[in-house]
């Protein structure tokens, strides 16, 4: 794959340079104008439908099963969502929090949990219901991506942009599991689409104000929105006012709508910055988190700002241009976030974008969108794919537009066929790896074996359940996965409601370090352990069921 990537990268670079030179000449000499692609209306509809079908199919195939297991942050969002659905509180009993407590030392955005709640209320807690909101948001993001590209760059360019996004590795990966921060990119794309629509003529105020409401919701998607979303809105406002596309009254009305939606989150950030007390309102709770360490993730709170900025620049380049290996759940080795050979086309798209900047609103919005992503990478320490997710939609648009320009300006049919084959081949290789080797790898990272082991005790009538923390884990992680897989009731977890004949939660569920339990055959207990703990149990007095590296142990003859 490495050799193939190198060959395709240099082929893409050569095509991009030739196309950029032709774009340059087209402004200075006659006869170098690009020929528009001729696609009949019927063929266009077919290609559009195939792109949509491909996008949906690869995202729903074995949905809920791949990746196997469940990520602890997604499980936490789901457990809180279940509590919200049933009691209107998070799992700790806080009523309708604007921001979630999560691990205590690090908080979690709340919007994903609120989106999960209706599905969990209707269909129960499962990997499917917990992951469904991210899938739907991802598909909505694709639809808005196509709409934005069509409005800004024409329907033919939009078709290529959609195809590129439909088979994009980053977009596919993040749509199939549940992580709160990944919502940010999709809501940002929805807002950008609506904002651009406001300047296509007619009913401007409706789309403008709708975009502000969506941008307000962005604040509840991810904490970095507090220093990225206002930057985007301020830059967009300055541009729109300077170009006289909005009036001062429209700008003020837009700000009012945005603040109307966003102010509770902004208030939470202020409460935690100034260390004020938690505020409970009749509608929701604005919490203070005394143990928060999240400020350490921001450049301006670093001990050495200049040194940290240098590290952030390097991380930004690695994550975007170089597409270096990231966390296992964020990319697949050899494919990067958008196929390693796509960057030259993104550069070509950026070159073409600057030529449109003065005359097209959509181009300006895209530049501000991209610039906000770059700002996020500079201001966020140790940035990775998750933390930089808002940059990938603009890069996908640029790459798709770059491919479109290359196809228009290099008229050799072999080029069109070759590019189509390169991306089709890369996509097929990606899908094969994703659903085989990568799927098996992710089962370990998402602790599938542990999930199967602990969920097998969901209906156990044992008085106590001893659950090992295991190697490389901590008690909080083990507990949140147990709450998810065992579907533990929030009121029972809080100690407010204890079923008759059952010990309180803190007495029944015991999380222990390896070898840190005293096994008593007379005790009515079941155990989830790892192999290192097997010697603690007499083989002739206990029953063992193996789930990968985990074992469920019960006393013989106890009926379980």
**Taking the mean position of all CA atoms in its chain, how far away is CA 235?**
25
Contact status, residue 167 vs residue 61, Cβ threshold 8 Å: no
Q: Residues 84, 79, 132, 433: what is their CA dihedral angle, to the nearest 10 degrees?
A: 170
Structure confidence by residue, pLDDT tens digits, 129-166: 999 999 999 999 999 999 999 999 999 999 999 999 99
**pLDDT, position 104:** 76
Q: Where are the domains of the chain?
A: 2-438, 448-555
Instruction: Provide the 8-state DSSP code for 201.
Output: S
User: Tokens in use for 477?
Assistant: 């992680």
- Residue % of the chain over a pLDDT of 90: 83
What are the C-alpha distances in Å from 199 to residues 142, 246, 341, 397, 457?
Answer: 21, 9, 34, 19, 57
More confident residue, 300 or 247: 247
Radius of gyration of the chain (CA): 26
Identify the weakest region by mean pLDDT among 27-41, 290-304, 443-457, 526-540: 27-41
Q: How many residues does the chain have?
A: 560
Q: Which of 398, 318, 319, 397 is nearest to 351 (CA)?
A: 398
**pLDDT, position 31:** 57
**pLDDT, position 68:** 96
**pLDDT, position 558:** 46
The 3-state DSSP class for residue 364 equals: helix
Distance CA 149, CA 158 (A): 5
Provide the pLDDT confidence category of residue 559 given band limits of 50, 70 and 90: very low
Residues 6+ apart with CB under 8 A from 435: 61, 62, 66
The 3-state DSSP class for residue 298 equals: strand
Distance CA 348, CA 342 (A): 10
How much is the mean pLDDT over the chain?
93
Instruction: Provide the 8-state DSSP code for 180.
Output: G
- Three-state secondary structure of 218-254: HCCCCCCHHHHHHHHHHHHHHHHHHCCCCCHHHHHHH
Q: Concatenate the DSSP letters of all residues of 112-157 into one string.
A: HHHHHHHHHHHH-SSHHHHHHHHHHHHHHHHHHHHHHHHHHH-HHH
Contact status, residue 143 vs residue 158, Cβ threshold 8 Å: no
Segment of 97-106, 124-133, 288-297 carrying the highest mean pLDDT = 124-133
Structure confidence by residue, pLDDT tens digits, 4-62: 888 999 999 999 999 998 888 877 666 556 677 889 999 999 999 999 999 999 999 99
pTM value surpassing 0.75: yes
- Residue % of the chain over a pLDDT of 70: 96
Distance CA 531, CA 61 (A): 34
Provide the pLDDT confidence category of residue 110 given band limits of 50, 70 and 90: very high
Distance CA 87, CA 221 (A): 22
Structure confidence by residue, pLDDT tens digits, 233-245: 999 999 999 999 9
Mean pLDDT of 100-105: 84
Instruction: Provide the 8-state DSSP code for 497.
Output: -
Structure confidence by residue, pLDDT tens digits, 353-395: 987 777 789 999 999 999 999 999 999 998 999 999 999 999 9
**pLDDT, position 36:** 77
Pairing of strands 525-530, 464-468: parallel
The 3-state DSSP class for residue 58 equals: helix
């Amino acid at each position: 794959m490495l050799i193939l990537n190198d060959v395709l990268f240099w082929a893409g670079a050569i095509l991009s340079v030739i196309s950029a030179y032709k774009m340059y000449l087209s402004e200075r000499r006659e006869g170098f104008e690009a020929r528009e692609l001729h696609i009949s209306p019927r063929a266009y509809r077919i290609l559009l439908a195939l792109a949509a079908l491909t996008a949906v199919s690869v995202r729903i195939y074995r949905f809920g099963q791949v990746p196997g297991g469940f990520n602890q942050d997604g499980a936490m969002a789901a457990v809180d969502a279940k509590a919200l659905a049933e009691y209107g509180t998070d799992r700790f009993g806080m009523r309708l929090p604007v921001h979630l407590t999560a691990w205590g030392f690090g908080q979690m955005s709340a919007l994903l949990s609120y989106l999960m709640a209706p599905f969990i209320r209707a269909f129960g807690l499962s990997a499917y219901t917990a992951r469904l909101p991210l899938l739907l948001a991802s598909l909505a993001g694709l639809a808005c991506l196509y709409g934005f590209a069509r409005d800004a760059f024409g329907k033919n360019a939009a078709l290529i942009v959609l195809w590129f996004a439909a088979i994009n590795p980053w977009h596919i990966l993040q749509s199939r599991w549940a992580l709160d921060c990944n919502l940010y990119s999709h809501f940002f794309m929805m807002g950008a689409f609506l904002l651009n629509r406001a300047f296509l003529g007619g009913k401007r105020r409706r789309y403008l104000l709708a975009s502000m409401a969506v941008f307000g919701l962005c604040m509840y998607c991810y904490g970095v929105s507090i220093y990225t979303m206002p930057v985007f809105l301020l830059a967009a406002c300055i541009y729109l006012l300077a170009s006289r596309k909005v009036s001062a009254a429209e700008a003020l009305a837009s700000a009012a709508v945005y603040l109307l939606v966003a102010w509770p989150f902004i208030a939470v950030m202020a409460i935690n910055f100034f260390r004020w007390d938690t505020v409970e309102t009749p509608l929701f709770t604005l919490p203070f988190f005394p143990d928060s360490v999240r400020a350490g993730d921001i450049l301006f709170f670093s001990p050495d700002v200049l040194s940290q900025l240098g590290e952030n620049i390097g991380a930004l380049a690695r994550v975007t241009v170089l597409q270096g290996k990231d966390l296992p759940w964020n990319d697949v080795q050899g494919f990067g976030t958008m196929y390693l050979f796509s960057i030259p086309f993104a550069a070509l798209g950026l070159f073409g974008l600057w030529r449109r900047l003065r005359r097209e609103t959509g181009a300006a919005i895209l530049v501000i969108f991209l610039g906000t992503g770059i700002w996020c990478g500079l201001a966020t320490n140790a940035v990775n794919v998750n933390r930089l997710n808002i940059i990938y939609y603009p890069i996908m648009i640029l790459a798709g537009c770059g491919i479109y320009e290359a196809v228009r300006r290099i008229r050799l049919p072999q080029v069109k066929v070759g590019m189509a084959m390169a991306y089709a081949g890369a996509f097929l290789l990606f899908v094969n790896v994703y659903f085989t080797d990568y799927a098996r790898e992710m089962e370990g990272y998402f602790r599938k074996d542990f999930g199967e082991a602990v969920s097998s005790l969901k209906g156990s009538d044992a008085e106590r359940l001893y659950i090992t923390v295991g190697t490389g884990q901590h008690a909080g992680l083990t507990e949140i996965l147990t709450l998810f897989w065992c579907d533990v009731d929030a009121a029972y977890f809080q100690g407010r409601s204890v079923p008759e004949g059952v010990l309180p939660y803190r007495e029944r569920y015991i999380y222990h370090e390896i070898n840190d339990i005293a096994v008593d055959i007379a005790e009515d207990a079941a155990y989830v352990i790892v192999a290192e703990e097997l010697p603690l149990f007499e083989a002739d007095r206990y029953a063992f069921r193996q789930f990968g590296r985990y074992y469920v142990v019960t006393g013989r003859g106890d009926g379980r």
